[in-house]
Structure 1
Amino acid sequence: MTKRQITCLACIAVVMVSGLGAAAPSAGATRHAVHPGESIQKAVDAAKPGDSIVIYPGTYRESVLVTKDRLTLRGFGARTVLMPAPAAARAANACATAGNGICVTGTATNTIDRISIRSLKLTGFKKNGLWATWTDRLSVNRVTAEKNGTWGLAQERSTRGIFRNNTARANGDAGIFIANTVDREGGAVDTLGAQVVNNRMSENRIGVTLRRVRNLMVRGNSMTANCGGVFVVGDESKPAAGAMTIRGNRIYKNNKFCPGNTRLPVIQGSGIILTGSEATVVRGNRVRDNVGTSVLSGGIVLFQSFVGAVNTNNVIRDNDVRGNSTADLANRGTGTGNQFIGNVCTSSEPAGMC
């Protein structure tokens, strides 16, 4: 290499470094600190896109509504606790009025993008710990959602959400809930690759519920002591629910009893349930000791939906499915094209799938 070439490379390096410094997106970001006795909501209201709100250890009796893009809310793990506001203060915002802990709320024409919620605890809310609607690239990491009335961590009408390393415990319905919409019927939403990864769900009604959604990954999660582990819910609407991957999860002893309702029978001892799903891959999961006597009981169960929609073209392969009752593998519907390949199990309905 000539001296001239070396000199030119050095010039390029200087220009690149200078350019990176000038274009750094965080250059104008502000860090807002919130201490016990102060308002998280006031910090959110004062923040601009790109800012972060650092919530110091303590108990905060409030709900927080987020309606602007690119904010980070970060606590100090289980030492940063959000609980419901006193009754007299619950009209402070729509999130509190609805009974939720943190709400990220967009619209069909203006989604709320790139919100990050990290390292805090949401507990005791009448409805949901976290409720997100019309969001894109929501990131929820190391959040504990405990003893909330309906869902621990939930989103609808949203795309590319990532739920990672969270704990959802003793919530009234699902620990983590992802849906197309909760206020009307309709076809499955393409989540554009949402992820539910490395979370821990216990003592909920369901660990993870995926209701009328498509194109997402559920991987590496641990689910125990729920009524059911993973529930994929579809119906006759088009596009159908499915086109997702459920892989490498540990789903064991989900033997809590949950009574039936107008839509579903009793749930107990259910590992992974597919109802009205198409083209879903259930692969490499360890599904053990889920025991019950419901029509939904068993290790991995295919069952028609409450409106009679069937499962089609799903692939159940290479799972370790043992010690479950009433069966390790069960295909209890009339769908077609479903495949059971290479699973380790001892009992199946119909016989011969092990």
Structure 2
Amino acid sequence: MRSTRPLARLAMIIIAIIAVTSPGAASATGARRVHVVWPGQSVQAAIDAAAPGDTVVLRPGTYRENLSITTNGLTLVGFGARLEAPAVPTPAGCVPAEQPNPVGVCVSGETDADTGQTVEVADVTIRGLTVGRFPSTGIMVLHGRRTRIERVDATGGTAYGILILRSSDNTVTGSTLHGGQSAGLYIGESPEARSTVTGNRMYDNVTFGIYVRTASYGIITGNQVEGSCIGIGFIPTHPAEDAVAHWRVTANRITANNRLCESASGPVTGIGVYLGGTKEITVDHNRIEANTGAPGTPHSWGGGIVVNDGSLYGFPNQPIDNQIRHNLLRDNLPYDIMVVVPGTGNTITANRCEASSPPGLCRPRTGSRR
């Protein structure tokens, strides 16, 4: 007897199609609905009409809007859709109302005007959307919880491709982030970040590929990071010793971060992973190569992995109890691993590399390349 499962699946698809509505339509029964937007229609109108749990689908084409999402559980899907900056920006909760909005998509909690308390927006998903260059940032999450950003392509402006601020339990996966003057991805001011950054490509961002600033708890894994001054950087801007703590950086490929940036300490260039005043961060099983610095630029420190205090960009916190192990490093200059400030309790072991400062931190490479 032939299985009825294909017929059941077909029936589910038909039901889903029947549920599709035009922008502005809403559910009278409370069931989750799909709102479809075509080029020339307003994406924001569909977002405003959506109830918690609804999905807004953008048909392929170009949309010139600033978008603001404050609804819990909303999913925005845009495979083949491109968001571009409008001629006249519209306000959103990520920036003060009196300022022009420089952000492409703003996911933000709302502040009660009477109490001043901010309620997080939860369970928002952005999937498949291409975000062109907005003046500052492609996608911003402010006071968000369990936000998922999946398979997006975001071009940064003067700041970031994606900016996650004062948020928790967020995921960025399968995305391409490029062109940000400050970073491809920024996670900051989030003491309970609990973020997952996996399977992304960050390239041609200026200062950082991934920038973690005063945020703790998370994993950065399976990413390709290239073409910045610093590939992945952890920076405290708070004096607490655990201002940046409890991250794992594993199974990433971090190559050729050789742009030239300036800092209070002079030129910064050619750094794969930078631990600046961090606590209990594990860097393991990464491949870190060809971080050599900008051509013709003299630099006395830098290379594949650098351990320092936090004074380069933030407070002079000491590095404490970090673990650097089982990484493959090669062709980094001036060193594969460099400890500028030793701190306390840091462990550097079983790394396959050639040159370190101080000497003796490398295990010579043997056998085939992985």
Identity of aligned residues (%): 31
Check whether the contact 1:273–1:301 (CA below 8 A) recurs between aligned residues. yes
SS at match of 1:132: strand
Residue in 2 that maps onto 1:347:
355
2:225 equivalent among 223, 227, 245: 223
**1: distance between equivalents of 2:63 and 2:138?**
14
- With normalisation by structure 2, the TM-score equals 0.82
Q: Residues 156-305 of structure 1 correspond to what in structure 2 (within 5 A)?
A: 156-180=165-189, 189-191=191-193, 193-205=194-206, 206-235=208-237, 236-237=239-240, 239-258=242-261, 260-262=262-264, 265-292=266-293, 293-294=298-299, 297-305=302-310
Tell me, which stretches of 5 or more residues in structure 1 are unaligned? 1-25, 181-187
- Show structure 1 runs of 4+ deviating over 6 A: none
Residues 90-99 or 294-303, more deviating: 90-99
Question: Aligned letter for 1:207?
Answer: G
**1: distance between equivalents of 2:38 and 2:158?**
27
Tell me, which stretches of 5 or more residues in structure 2 are unaligned? 1-28, 111-116, 363-370
Deviations 1:145-190 (A, max 9, x none): 114221001111111100000000111111011001xxxxxxx611
Change (3 A) 1:265 1:135: farther
- With normalisation by structure 1, the TM-score equals 0.85
Deviation at 1:94, TM superposition (A): 5.0
Change (3 A) 1:239 1:346: closer
Residue in 2 that maps onto 1:17:
none
**2: distance between equivalents of 1:71 and 1:309?**
39
Change (3 A) 1:295 1:198: farther
Residue in 2 that maps onto 1:316:
324
Residue in 1 that maps onto 2:143:
134
**2: distance between equivalents of 1:296 and 1:273?**
12
2:158 equivalent among 149, 154, 159: 149
Check whether the contact 1:273–1:296 (CA below 8 A) recurs between aligned residues. no
Deviations 1:279-337 (A, max 9, x none): 00000000011012446521000011123211111000000011100100011014111
**2: distance between equivalents of 1:289 and 1:119?**
31
Check whether the contact 1:270–1:296 (CA below 8 A) recurs between aligned residues. no
Check whether the contact 1:75–1:118 (CA below 8 A) recurs between aligned residues. yes
**2: distance between equivalents of 1:53 and 1:329?**
47
Residues 45-54 or 146-155, more deviating: 146-155
Deviation at 1:67, TM superposition (A): 1.0
Structure 1 or 2: more helix by fraction? 1
Residues 310-319 or 233-242, more deviating: 233-242
Check whether the contact 1:227–1:267 (CA below 8 A) recurs between aligned residues. yes
Check whether the contact 2:137–2:156 (CA below 8 A) recurs between aligned residues. no
SS at match of 2:103: coil
1:28 equivalent among 7, 31, 53: 31
Residue in 2 that maps onto 1:116:
125
**1: distance between equivalents of 2:302 and 2:253?**
17
Question: Aligned letter for 1:68?
Answer: T
**2: distance between equivalents of 1:94 and 1:280?**
33
Question: Aligned letter for 1:222?
Answer: Q
**2: distance between equivalents of 1:177 and 1:141?**
16
Deviations 1:44-98 (A, max 9, x none): 000000000001111111110011100000011xx31111111xx3145456823
SS at match of 1:130: strand
Deviations 1:243-284 (A, max 9, x none): 1100000001111222x145x642211100000100000000
Question: Aligned letter for 2:48?
Answer: D
**2: distance between equivalents of 1:132 and 1:272?**
25
**2: distance between equivalents of 1:328 and 1:142?**
32
**1: distance between equivalents of 2:301 and 2:141?**
29
**2: distance between equivalents of 1:171 and 1:308?**
26
Check whether the contact 2:131–2:153 (CA below 8 A) recurs between aligned residues. yes
Residue in 1 that maps onto 2:8:
none
Residues 118-127 or 147-156, more deviating: 147-156
User: How much is the aligned-residue C-alpha RMSD, in angstroms?
Assistant: 1.8
Deviations 1:177-208 (A, max 9, x none): 1001xxxxxxx6111x3100000000002110
Check whether the contact 1:249–1:284 (CA below 8 A) recurs between aligned residues. yes
Q: What count of residue pairs does the alignment treat as equivalent?
A: 315
Change (3 A) 1:265 1:121: farther
SS at match of 2:151: strand
1:63 equivalent among 51, 62, 66: 66
Residue in 2 that maps onto 1:72:
75
**2: distance between equivalents of 1:94 and 1:125?**
16
